[in-house]
Amino acid sequence: MASRILDHMKTIRVPIMLQQRVMKTLREKLALAEQKLEQTFPEPVINYKQRGTTAGSAYLKDWEIRVNPTLLIENPDNFVDEVIPHELAHLLVYRVFGRKGVAPHGNEWKWMMQNVLGVVPKRTHNFAVTSVKSRTFRYLCGCDTLHELTIRRHNKVERGENQYLCRKCGEILRREIASAAES
């Protein structure tokens, strides 16, 4: 089996103005939640590492929201209004109710969206995804780097033809299982 060092994925730069709009909405909704729930919350970390056709995901324990830069740039208005509150609601539900017996888009999440954040609770977005259709697969290593493998590379791993190493920590990448992410 061949081992290859994984090339860095090209990063998509989100214009500063758009990043500021994301932060503005995040902070407004967070302030609303603090006021209505009479509780303070730390500000979630936003990054622009979400790939594939997923608009965004919430990493509950890391208190982090991953935003798909391509879908944000292509649908700025709807994205900021829908996806940011959607993912923030996942974090808030986790903090307020925990995870046990709580479905990702269940009653707690719907309540958080509607009654606290004042947003219509929609499970999915309907952005055009043709530009992001090529599927990627998440892999982990020994450090904190997120690796997204193309389907071609993923298939090579699955068939045992190839394995990939992290450039930073040198560990063999392994498929991410049981992700805590919710889209």
Token pair of 1 as six digits: 């089996």
Candidates 74, 82, 87, 171; catalytic one: 87
Stretch (H or E) spanning 140: strand 136-140
Q: Which residue number is nearest to Zn ion in terms of Cβ?
A: 166
Residue 86 known to bind ligand: yes
**C-beta closer to Zn ion: residue 15 or 170:** 170
Instruction: Report 94-153 residues binding Zn ion (CB under 5 A).
Output: 141, 143, 145
**C-beta closer to Zn ion: residue 23 or 140:** 140
- For residue 147, the minimal CB distance to Zn ion (Å) is 8
Cβ neighbours of residue 57 closer than 8 Å, sequence gap 6 or more = 50, 65, 66, 87, 181, 182, 183
Region of 19-27, 38-46, 114-122, 161-169 interacting with Zn ion (CB under 5 A): 161-169
Instruction: Report 38-77 residues binding Zn ion (CB under 5 A).
Output: none
How many Cβ atoms are within 10 Å of 57's Cβ, its own excluded? 20
- For residue 57, the minimal CB distance to Zn ion (Å) is 8
DSSP 66-101: EE-HHHHHHSHHHIIIIIHHHHHHHHHHHHHH-STT
Residue 125 known to bind ligand: no
169 contacts Zn ion (rule: CB under 5 A): yes
For residue 87, indicate whether it is catalytic: yes
DSSP one-letter code for 115: I
Beta-strand pair 56-59/64-67: antiparallel
Which residues line the annotated binding site for Zn(2+)? 86, 90
Positions annotated as catalytic residues are: 87
Binding stretches for Zn ion (CB under 5 A): 141, 143, 145, 166, 168-169, 182
